[in-house]
A and B are shown apart, each in its own frame.
Chain A
């Protein structure tokens, strides 16, 4: 696996960790990844995530088990995005998960959701 693909693997590992509330061993985590990445590669990414404060780990026997941090009290966020213009920035090559909504869009979105949740 080339270094370029570590970011891609990071996203996938986060997705797998998010799918469960429990701690997961590296071996079990690896089974659920596509492309059969090497054990050491998975560990590298997990260390990186640990550094970033996105996952926590605890030792069980000789192995470490990992879990996604998604709890407010556990988050140790420091940096701000203040200077980064991403939303609707015509020159940005990054795209946000979701752009901001205008009030009209928000109203339309609520209407769609009501429409679909209504009949059930």
Chain B
């Protein structure tokens, strides 16, 4: 087996990184869908490639009589031999991704429990906070600082923004994006772009609802300037808030009624082909188990 087996995964990974560094000039709603499609396709492809390499390595090292006894094992083994460093590397990356995903899951459960506990009222916090909490017991959580900082029209902007998050199930986008970025660490960059696209999407919905882009821009700026400084661990200055405000002070983006679906559909189709070629191999796994 040569390194070319990893080429679909590498191509998708590079495309994903390019897409997150240079966002396409789309309405944020389509931008978010596009980024999510890329994230999922890439994570799936990379992960199945890693699994496949490990499987082949294992199959080539099984005792000969066992290979004969198991249908499919011979087929898998025929793709070998896999160099030891390649198998070790793949196993390490795969296990690291799974471990990281498990850690994220634990953190998510913890956050959810804490949120449920604080949902009984407005939270008393010096930071101006607003959160959309998905789920049956969900809703909007705001801090006392936010309620006293903003005027009623500005509060409407915040609630419209959070409503957009809930209405369009943005937590699912971010959840899937998080899973992808945990399995394949380089996708964290894409996840950040996805998060930004979701915020922009909610901003645009809020602006459409209150029919005042300037008001939305002012609200975001006011909350951002009142919030304490961000922790210094951000490696790269993102200037996300500045970008959001700037975008709102400009014209409303086009809805991309044609380009949006075409692009996301096209990405889906194109990446499906690549992904399928690696996922397809997993059928062999099923064969092996039977």
Chains A and B come from one and the same complex: yes
B51 within 8 A of A: no
B188 within 8 A of A: yes
Which residues from chain A contact B124 at a C-beta distance below 8 Å? Answer: 77-80
A27 within 8 A of B: no
Residue of B nearest to A69 (CB): B147
**Known A-B contacts A84-B114, A93-B174, A96-B130; A6 and B139 likewise in contact (beta carbons under 8 Å):** yes
How distant is the Cα of A88 from the Cα of B188 in the complex, in angstroms? 12
Considering only CB atoms and an 8 Å cut-off, how many residues of chain A contact the other chain?
62
How distant is the Cα of A94 from the Cα of B165 in the complex, in angstroms? 10
B7 within 8 A of A: no
Q: Give the Cβ gap from A101 to chain B, nearest Cβ, in Å.
A: 5
**27 A-B residue contacts at CB 8 Å?**
A11-B139, A11-B160, A11-B163, A18-B159, A19-B152, A52-B119, A69-B147, A77-B125, A78-B124, A80-B124, A81-B143, A83-B114, A86-B129, A91-B104, A91-B107, A92-B111, A93-B174, A95-B165, A97-B130, A98-B223, A99-B227, A100-B229, A102-B230, A103-B229, A110-B225, A112-B249, A113-B245
A51 within 8 A of B: yes
A residues sitting closer than 8 Å to B (CB atoms) are 3-4, 6-8, 10-12, 14-16, 18-21, 48, 51-54, 68-72, 75-81, 83-106, 108-110, 112-113, 116
B199 within 8 A of A: yes
B3 within 8 A of A: no
* B148 lies within 8 A of A12 (CB): no
Contact of B225 among A21, A76, A101, A116 (CB under 8 A): A101
Q: Give the Cβ gap from B232 to chain A, nearest Cβ, in Å.
A: 7
Contact of B232 among A21, A89, A102, A106 (CB under 8 A): A102
How distant is the Cα of A19 from the Cα of B69 in the complex, in angstroms? 72
How distant is the Cα of A94 from the Cα of B111 in the complex, in angstroms? 9
